[in-house]
Amino acid sequence: MERPQRMTHNGPKITFISKFTEVFFDSDGYFHSSYQIFGQGGDGSNRRAIVCLGLLNVVLLIAAVALGINCSKVKEGSLHVSHPAATQLINELNYLRSNNSDAMKAQEEAKQALQKALKNHAQLKVQIEQQKTINDGYHRQVEVLRAEKANLQANISALEGTCGRCLAGWSILNSTCYFFSYTESSSVKKNWFDSRADCISRDANLVVIDNPEEQRFLSDSIKNKKTSSKWWENGFWIGITDMETEGTWVWINNVTEVENRYWMDGEPNNLGHHGENCGVAVYSPTNPWKTWFDGFCSVPLHWICEMPSK
């Protein structure tokens, strides 16, 4: 580097050389420098120059220190301001991530719970159908048992009522036992000839009605034994016929019916002269003494058997 020269008023030439050996900031932001001055000339002038330069160095040093302090404060304040905000943002981000993870986990658990519930529902539906089938079977069995119980109770009542003088299922009046086919089967009906054959197979015969008490008893007994909305289809075969001689009604015990006490008004009429030759008894809600009519012997109806009691 050239050496600048200056002229003084006294004439001598003063030469000085300035050299900055080091200029830097330390880790805390403070400014440092090393300054060397080499001069030639008068001692007074040199001293003044050195003093001025030293003051300038001090001023620059103070400025650097102040600037470093300000930078440090700004940096520290920035850290104090930004660090909590960043921490809060990070915490919120972590919270949202945690909530999102929990939400996804809850969603997956809810999905699995729903699938499990649907599976359980399907299984429960199958079990309900199976139980319904089982219950229907139990219900049918109960109905069968109830029917058997009713029959047993009827037999017991019949035995108690007849004191063992009549067979089970038969009714008793005085010294005669009566069998109503309806009580054995409400759906089985026979013509007059087959009905009489059934009575004979039971060591009995079709009923012969020969007194008012018996007429009233039989009328009351068939009161609720109905199978049709047509009144004549609810009749019961009895043991009287005019097959031998039209208009002459004879009981199966060969006793001729000479009075028309129990025939319905206008009966027997041999409707259309087509062979209404067999007697039928039916319940009459208006007059229990007018319950007979003549019918076609081939028509299937219920029947009444009678036999002496034991």
Q: Are residues 303 and 173 in the same domain?
A: yes
What is the distance of C-alpha 157 from the center of its chain?
Answer: 46
Boundary of a domain, candidates 70, 85, 100: 85
Is residue 25 in a domain? yes
pLDDT score, position 264? 94
Is residue 34 in a domain? yes
Is residue 60 in a domain? yes
Place of tokens 């300054």: 35
Q: Are residues 175 and 278 in the same domain?
A: yes
19 has which bridge partners?
36
Boundary of a domain, candidates 36, 66, 85: 85
Residue 225 sits in which domain range?
166-308
16 has which bridge partners?
39
Q: Are residues 68 and 182 in the same domain?
A: no
End-to-end CA distance of the chain: 165
Q: Count CA atoms closer than 13 A to 104's CA, side-chain side.
A: 5
How much is the pTM? 0.50
CATH number at residue 281: 3.10.100.10
CB atoms within 10 A of CB 43: 8
Boundary of a domain, candidates 27, 51, 85: 85
* 23 phi and psi angles, rounded to 5 deg: -135, 125
Q: Are residues 186 and 64 in the same domain?
A: no
**Residue 99 to residues 91, 92, 210, 242: CA-CA distances in angstroms?**
12, 10, 101, 104
Residue 205, judged by CB atoms within 10 A of its CB (0-12, 13-18, 19+), counts as middle
Residue 235, judged by CB atoms within 10 A of its CB (0-12, 13-18, 19+), counts as buried
How far is the C-alpha of 114 from the C-alpha of 284, rounded, in Å?
A: 69
β-pairing, 302-308 vs 236-241, is parallel
How far is the C-alpha of 269 from the C-alpha of 260, rounded, in Å?
A: 12
Is residue 175 in a domain? yes
Is residue 147 in a domain? no
Q: Are residues 76 and 180 in the same domain?
A: no
> Cα angle vertex 207, ends 202, 208, to 5°?
140
Is residue 152 in a domain? no
β-pairing, 171-173 vs 176-180, is antiparallel
How far is the C-alpha of 186 from the C-alpha of 28, rounded, in Å?
A: 119
Is residue 92 in a domain? no
Residue 249's identity, in one-letter code, is: W
Burial 99-108 (b: 16+ CB within 10 A, else e): eeeeeeeeee
36 has which bridge partners?
19
Structural domain count of the chain: 2
What is the distance of C-alpha 47 from the center of its chain?
Answer: 112
Residue pLDDT tens, the chain, 310 long: 444 444 444 555 444 444 444 555 455 555 455 544 444 445 566 677 777 787 887 878 887 777 777 766 656 555 554 567 778 888 888 888 887 888 888 888 888 888 888 989 898 889 898 888 898 888 888 878 877 776 666 556 555 556 678 999 999 999 999 999 999 999 999 999 999 999 999 999 999 999 999 999 999 999 999 999 999 999 999 999 999 999 899 999 999 987 888 999 999 988 766 789 999 999 998 899 999 999 999 999 999 999 999 8
Q: Are residues 59 and 177 in the same domain?
A: no
Is residue 264 in a domain? yes
